[in-house]
Amino acid sequence: MGFADKRVFITGGARGIGAAVAKAFVGEGAKVAINARSEESIESCRRAHGHDYLGVAGEVGQRDACFAIIGRAVEALGGLDVLVANAGIFAEVPFEEVTQEEFDANVTVNLGGVFFCAQAAMPALRESKGNIVAVASDAALISYAAAPAYSAAKGAVASLVRSLAIGYASYPVRVNCVCPGNVDTDLLHEAAAQTSDPESYIKAAGDRAPVRRMAAAEEVAAAVLYLASSEAAFTNGVALPIDGGGTAGFD
């Protein structure tokens, strides 16, 4: 897919979708750096994949932290061709129970992590004529009443992607996002563990899509690689559902 020696940085790259994306890029010959909250998480991913990823630990969200993380990644990689803005948090909190802390966390991590990492990476991406792929959610495209703060932040990510796609098209820097439905990851199982019936939660997560299963992280990774590749050179400002038909309608 044209990624040999391309320099790729993935936020939230040590597990779940991010780890699958990292592994897929390495398989295509890219030079990959991953971000996670801790060095321990990065080392765990290295052991699991048998690959010595470049690692940049730190929490995304606040502007200064994002600039520091991106700066270290660009230095370690010797430039940047692809930013995958994947780091995020998730919790189902009913609308009337959303606290200021819950709201701020969603805006800071789910939106701010994309916004400020993209802002910090843009000079390097302009130089390389690279691109950004953000990981949003099907909750950015359809109603998700169980998690309104999360849905609002992810909807803002999809809107941001369109704004950046237009604003930087002439450089050219492309900006797209994927919008996964339920994905069989640790994050989903952690959400299930917070309920009174985790088994039923996981079953319902699989049944929600018309294809009656969850996505594998590798299926989302495949879409990320496509959007980042030269094969998608004329694809810009897209919010691509990876949801088994969940946003298409009802049967």
Q: What is the pLDDT of residues 183-241, one digit of tens each?
A: 999 889 998 998 999 999 999 999 989 999 999 999 999 999 999 999 999 999 999 99
Which string of b and e fits 113-127 if b means at least 16 CB within 10 Å? bbbbbbebbbebbee
| Residue 102 and residue 195 share a domain | no
Distance in angstroms (rounded) separating the CA atoms of residues 94 and 248: 25
Question: For the chain, what is the mean pLDDT?
Answer: 95
Q: Are residues 87 and 210 in the same domain?
A: no
Cα-Cα-Cα-Cα dihedral of 25, 27, 74, 48, to 10°?
100
Q: Are 92 and 155 found together in one domain?
A: yes
Is 28 inside any structural domain? yes
Q: Are residues 113 and 187 in the same domain?
A: no
The reported pLDDT for the residue numbered 37 is 94
Residue 214 is classified by DSSP as P
With respect to residue 59, please indicate whether it lies within any of the assigned structural domains.
yes
Question: What range defines the domain where residue 155 resides?
Answer: 7-180+216-239
Expressed in angstroms, the distance from the first to the final Cα of the chain is 36
Let me know whether 132 and 122 are in one domain.
yes
Residues 85 and 118 both lie in one domain: yes
Residue 2, in any domain of the structure: no
Count the domains in the chain. 2
Predicted pLDDT of residue 251? 66
Q: Are residues 115 and 232 in the same domain?
A: yes
Q: ∠246-61-22 over CA atoms, to 5°? A: 60
Instruction: With respect to residue 150, please indicate whether it lies within any of the assigned structural domains.
Output: yes
Looking at the DSSP assignment, which residues form a beta bridge with residue 75?
none
- Give CA–CA dist 228/233, Å, rounded: 8
Q: What digits encode the pLDDT tens for the residues 128-177? A: 999 999 999 999 999 889 999 999 999 999 999 999 999 999 999 999 99
Is 244 a domain residue? no
Q: Is the pLDDT of residue 250 over 70?
A: no
Do residues 223 and 178 touch, judged by C-beta distance below 8 A? Answer: yes
Q: Residue 2's pLDDT is what?
A: 87
Section 101-112 average pLDDT? 97
Are residues 221 and 184 in contact, defined by beta-carbon separation less than 8 angstroms? no
> Which residue, among 1, 11, 73, 36, has the nearest Cα to 228 in the 3D structure?
1
Verify that 59 and 19 share a domain, yes or no. Answer: yes
pLDDT for residue 52:
92
Q: Are residues 222 and 209 in the same domain?
A: no
Domain match, 207 and 96 both:
no
Quick check: is 188 in a domain?
A: yes
Would 232 be classed as within a structural domain? yes
* Average pLDDT of the residues in 74-86: 98
Mean pLDDT of 82-97: 95
pLDDT tens-digit profile of 14-53?
999 999 999 999 999 999 999 999 999 999 999 999 999 9
> Residue 127: inside a domain, yes or no?
yes
Catalytic residue among 150, 168, 201, 226: 150
Query: How much of the chain exceeds pLDDT 90, in percent?
Result: 93
3-state SS assignment for residue 250 = coil
Assess whether 41 and 111 both reside in one domain: yes
pLDDT at 32: 97
Q: How far apart are CA 174 and CA 234, in angstroms?
A: 9
- The pLDDT score that the predictor gives to residue 187 is 86
pLDDT for res 200 = 95
Q: Is 150 a catalytic residue?
A: yes
CATH of the domain at 41: 3.40.50.720
Tokens standing for residue 101: 């802390």
> Does 75 lie in the same domain as 52?
yes
- Helix (H) / strand (E) element for 63: namely helix 63-77
Q: What per-residue confidence (pLDDT) applies to 143?
A: 86
